[in-house]
Amino acid sequence: MIIPRLALRNLLGAGLRTWLNVIVLSFSFVLIIWLQGLYKGMGDQARVAQTDAEFGGGQYWQENYDPFDPLALQDAHSSVPESLQTLIENKQAAAILISQATIYPEGRLHTILMKGIDPAQSVVTLPTQFLDQEGEELPALIGTRMARNTGLKVGDTVTVRWRDSQGTFDARDAKIVQIMKTSVPSVDLAQMWVPLDKMQSLTRMKNEASLVILAQGTEEFPQVSGWIHKDMKFLLKDIDYLVKTKSVGGSIIYTILLCLAMLAIFNTQVLSIFRRRKEMGTLMAMGMTRSKIIQLFTLEGAMHSVLAALVAAIYGIPLLAWSAKTGWAMPEAADDYGIAGIGEALIPVYGTGLVVGTVVLVLLVTTIVSFLPTRKIAKLKPTDALRGKMT
């Protein structure tokens, strides 16, 4: 027990030098936790937003459907199989029909995806109830990004042109019945939502769909011929990759900061061992073994991280709590980043694992860095040390 007590006394005795190292290291603590929390929060927000607005509890894709190949959409539709039709009728699933189309707001050409959805569906959080309108014009729901890009407003009429199942052109005037604000660009950008039954009739694709979204909580996924089940792990894969990539990018920043802190600690240790030769000689003369002296110096260095954790807790906890409450306000341009869930603010999420992991990481790195300069002590002769010599 003498070594930890001695180490703490020596450390505190070093005064300003210790506190400078501790403060720099505490910055690393706070920054690592904040950045990782930010990325975790971004991932969680994106997952929740995309699940609610687009993915539901998983999807069935028509076998030719590929969201990254708009040219294949012409063949990506077929009759909804009976097993899925039953789920749709029980409001446990929603069918979506997708077709390439062109709109001409103010005579300008915009290529879009026209998506048919049941106005009465409750599987995804899109405000599809606005599509439940009668009239000559085709009711259409668009997002704020699409509205901004095309200059369309609620009540505007725009000509939309598409090809039906036989490849014949058809065109109608569509009336914008609602502009939805969503944090999910993939249900907004270059897309127009219309009533499913009208789209099926206009495109001559009666009872057909391109994909079926299952309600959240669906647990049974039967095999359906001609349709492929896509689970949440597959659907959220892109978000996971994105968060992973962002985390790696962020880790570069805090690795630099951590390296600076470690450099300061390493420097302190080297200087300390050089200046305290006589002290080491005295301890050896009094019977302390070399390994005990190495332990003492290593512990002194490692204790920087313990003190840094305490200092970081003093100012970091209120700071991180405030950040978790208010979030990080996003600029308007963030809307165009194409990341779901980033609305007006990014809310960081700090888990126990993240905090404990960060403390252990910093403690481990500090201990290693503190130990490295002490290896010289192993070769130290007590007589030389007492004379103030290093061998």
Partner 1 sequence: MKKTISVFSLLVLMTATAMTQAPPSGEDILKRVDANIGSDNKIATAEMIIHGRRGSRSIKSKSWIYGIEKSYTEYLAPAREAGTKMLKLEEQLWTYIPSTDRTIKISGHMLRQSVMGSDLSYEDMMEDPELLNLYNANIIEESTFLERPCWILELTAKVEDISYHSRKIWVDKERYVSLKEERFARSGKLLKVFEVKEVRSIQNRWVPVHMVFKDALKSGKGTEYFIESIEFNADIPEALFTKASLR
Taking alpha carbons only, the member of 10, 34, 11 closest to residue 317 is 34
Determine the interface stretch with partner 1 among 13-21, 169-177, 268-276, 312-320 (rule: CB under 8 A). 169-177
Q: Answer yes or no: are the C-beta atoms of 170 and 163 closer than 8 Å.
A: yes
For 318-372, give the DSSP string: HHHHHHHHH-EEPPGGGGGG--TT-SSEE-----HHHHHHHHHHHHHHHHHHHHG
Pick the binder of partner 1 from 104, 334, 363, 371 (CB under 8 A).
104
3-state secondary structure of 197: helix
Checking 8-16 for CB contacts under 8 A at 24+ apart, the result is 8/303, 10/296, 10/300, 11/300, 11/303, 11/304, 11/307, 14/268, 14/272
Between CA 51 and CA 339 the distance in angstroms is 13
Query: Is position 233 an interface residue for partner 1 (rule: CB under 8 A)?
Result: no
159 in contact with partner 1 (CB under 8 A): yes
Of 38-46, 170-178, 303-311, 365-373, the segment contacting partner 1 by CB under 8 A is: 170-178
- Interatomic CA distance for residues 318 and 24, integer angstroms: 18
Of 74 and 144, nearer to partner 1 (C-beta) is 74
Residue 171 CA to residue 148 CA, distance in Å, equals: 23
- 136: contact with partner 1 by CB under 8 A: no
Query: Of 19-27, 90-98, 102-110, 125-133, which part binds partner 1 (CB under 8 A)?
Result: 102-110
**In the set 12, 20, 48, 74, which binds partner 1 (CB under 8 A)?**
74
- Choose between 169 and 322: whose C-beta lies nearer to partner 1: 169
Distance CA 60, CA 14 (A): 66
Q: How far is the CB of 165 from partner 1 (least distance, A)?
A: 10
Handedness of CA 91, 93, 95, 96 (dihedral sign): positive
If the CB atoms of residues 74 and 383 are measured against partner 1, the closer one turns out to be: 74
107 contributes a contact to partner 1 by CB under 8 A: yes
Shortest distance (Å) from residue 184 CB to partner 1: 27
Among 82, 89, 106, 332, contact with partner 1 (rule: CB under 8 A): 106
Q: Which is nearer to partner 1, 201 or 291 (CB)?
A: 201
Q: How far is the CB of 250 from partner 1 (least distance, A)?
A: 39
Tokens encoding 218: 């669906």
Q: Which is nearer to partner 1, 76 or 283 (CB)?
A: 76
Judged by CB under 8 A, the stretch of 70-78, 79-87, 146-154, 360-368 that binds partner 1 is 70-78
170 contacts partner 1 (rule: CB under 8 A): yes
**Options 167, 217, 287, 331; binder of partner 1; rule CB under 8 A:** 167
**Rounded-to-integer distance, Cα 243 and Cα 103, Å:** 35
Residue 171, interface with partner 1 (CB under 8 A)?
A: yes
Which residues bind to partner 1, rule: CB under 8 A?
71-72, 74, 100, 102, 104, 106-109, 159, 161, 163-164, 166-172
